[in-house]
């Protein structure tokens, strides 16, 4: 009984997480004297649902550009009623966006991320399971 209550509370918690937060706009600051070398700016944090580190086991191609196999960070964002996977480098610098394919899903269940190669081995698939839909991202594997 206690496990059921804890599970229900966790599901409600994940459903109530905000999809996006507004970034406050700050007033212009007066120019500062620049040092000889400035440290690199921190990466821009993408607002959305963080899918954490995703290991893509093979080199892949997006929009004609090749990316090596390795670890990438993904964030699921929604804009204008559409969902996107924002793919970031290991240092969490945005590389590109991939439009999510939305498929209806029966049944409930919580938030779940699965990663695997498609049956034909042509694509690496990231699937996000939500209570009423699947959001799918496909990455073409380099042959």
Q: Does 142 map to a domain?
A: yes
Query: pLDDT at position 8, please?
Result: 55
Q: Does 38 map to a domain?
A: no
* Whole-angstrom distance, CA of residue 16 vs CA of residue 66: 37
Q: Does 10 map to a domain?
A: no
Q: Does 29 map to a domain?
A: no
Query: pLDDT at position 21, please?
Result: 47
Rg (CA), the chain: 19
Q: By residue range, what is the domain housing residue 60?
A: 46-143
Domain count, the chain: 1
Non-local (6+) Cβ contacts of 118 within 8 A are 124, 125, 138
Q: What is the pLDDT along the chain (143 residues), one digit of tens a residue?
A: 666 665 555 555 444 555 544 445 555 655 555 555 655 544 555 567 889 899 999 999 999 999 999 999 999 999 999 999 999 998 889 999 999 999 998 877 778 899 999 999 999 999 999 888 999 999 999 87
Q: Does 2 map to a domain?
A: no
Q: How far is CA 10 from CA 13, 41, 88, in A?
A: 5, 36, 28
Q: Does 118 map to a domain?
A: yes
């Amino acid at each position: 009984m206690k496990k059921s209550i804890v599970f229900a509370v966790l599901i409600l918690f994940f459903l109530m997480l905000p999809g996006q937060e507004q970034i406050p706009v700050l007033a212009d600051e007066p120019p500062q004297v620049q040092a000889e070398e400035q440290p690199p700016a921190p990466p821009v944090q993408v607002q959305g649902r963080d899918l954490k580190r995703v290991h893509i086991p093979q080199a892949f191609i997006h929009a004609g550009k090749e990316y090596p196999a390795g670890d990438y960070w993904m964030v699921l964002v929604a804009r204008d009623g559409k969902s996107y996977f924002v793919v970031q480098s290991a240092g969490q610098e945005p590389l590109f966006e991939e439009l999510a394919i939305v498929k209806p899903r029966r049944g409930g269940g919580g938030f779940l991320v699965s990663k695997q190669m498609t049956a034909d081995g042509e694509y690496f698939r990231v699937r996000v399971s939500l209570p009423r839909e699947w959001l799918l991202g496909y990455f073409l594997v380099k042959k």
